[in-house]
Chains A and B, each alone.
Chain A
């Protein structure tokens, strides 16, 4: 590959630098924030930082590939795509946190700072071309999220969520590190490009150490993405974490981990494709099926969305298994539409949720569609989109994934996937049934819905893109294709 970059090239991590500066800015400003009404100021610092990072990131779109830190990070379209996606997800998360943080009594300074740190880690993951750097990004993001998951005050569930996430996260990190160590042992390098060139000589393809390393690496990623059978932590963690963070985890961590998964497996370990594709095929089927079937029985909306998010990881894995330009492009497009739709769904949950984990049961949604038509319609659009019903973007995402799978001859997998999405229709429809077709039980208190202006803006953005990306997906599909060109 000939990456002889003897320089640090700080500009390659421009977005990360801006994010960290903004995070530090929030930390400093927090010292001077005295009253509740000044809190939103902290969020706006974060938003400005994200916009700045976005500008830095987008300015290099389409430019020549640049390596930094002696070839440990890269700026290419693939990285830029994920950086942008993660920044958008993070930005929307901040916007929908503003009101939530106040009503839930969460310390705002720490909350926003940690969210930005988590984003930094995610962005770094998408840019890493070295397993060590990848690990570093993963840890930055994980440690921030361990804390964020436990930030709801006086909530046992939140504390449980944090501890559980930490324990299992640490466990999975062990897997990942061991996998990296074994790969290093087998290939003599942690650089993705070097590993690829060693494997290209095909001498060590049967080496047990290599295969074990690959398997452990896969398990490590599996934990982060919540691929069955490594998904057990997700529902509990998602349920207990502050709702905006749950939304952020369900899209951000997933996107970052998939970015790394693609770089490592589709990119560097492609010689071992037969082996890991088989594993991921099974993983995909298990993930979809377990996620969807378990979601059927949930009564708590956050748990339901957690299982739904597991199921969606299963669909995305189909794209990874299919591979090629179509499959990889489908993964990117799917992550994009899933991010915007799912963030929207969580924004609705936040609007309805009350302090003390109230109004999180599906029963609490009864009759909301008739009292707040706009909110109900927005949720209906997100649910239809997640269920994969046209003309919403979720359908286009699934269509693109399925078409890649059929193209590569995975027809059996596609049929399992469409049957799974049939199962998922049932629980997504249940939300709509609750909101529009049931009336609130007599005597139940009618909770005021919480329309914070920034939250409304998130809803509007999410609805707009969920519809627009479904009706006119062409430019986004092209974007996804442009992002993987240099990487394939």
Chain B
């Protein structure tokens, strides 16, 4: 290709500067200023960040982390065996099974979450079912349980897919070799399978944890109006109270949090896999 084709990228560079870089700078800018009555006047301050550190908000941040973390762990506990089981079927069945698990992803996420309200609410499907056995009714809606359930349901495919891909990549002869050398099933799993599928696990964790941390739809619908995660806090600051300064500060915190987790996972990923990978595949 001719060198001159690189000029095709110039309009895009201008575009991303306007529509990606400037807005990000705006968020940062708003997070460190304080308005005064005069529209144009402002002064720099760290007060917004001080507000974030108030116990009330810190508790919300901690709560978001715990909920996102639990959802990720549950996704991993369910996702790994599922990915494993899928990979044991014949190729044709595998694709059918995979589609069964991915299909919900093609249905609008709000509808999927909404479906859970129908199931969990007081007069919902689950309680009607329990009533047949004279059990319940259980108050499941508007609890941590409902929120975590919604997250696991929505994000599980993101855990299954990368792990499944990683499992498929594992050379069957390595497992056979381990068996021939006398490894037990448990050993085969912990010494061969698990290390080789770590890249998939890391990707899965990232792809579940990050959206779980920042979503505001699932907590809003399944946790109820008073339920707070960091996403809801940001939404409120912008749409309800109109405090852009505090909202921006929360966004900056969320952004930093996410960049740190991506960085940690990348590091984890490259450290672990390249070293162990080298041991297995001396290329």
* A joins B in a complex: no
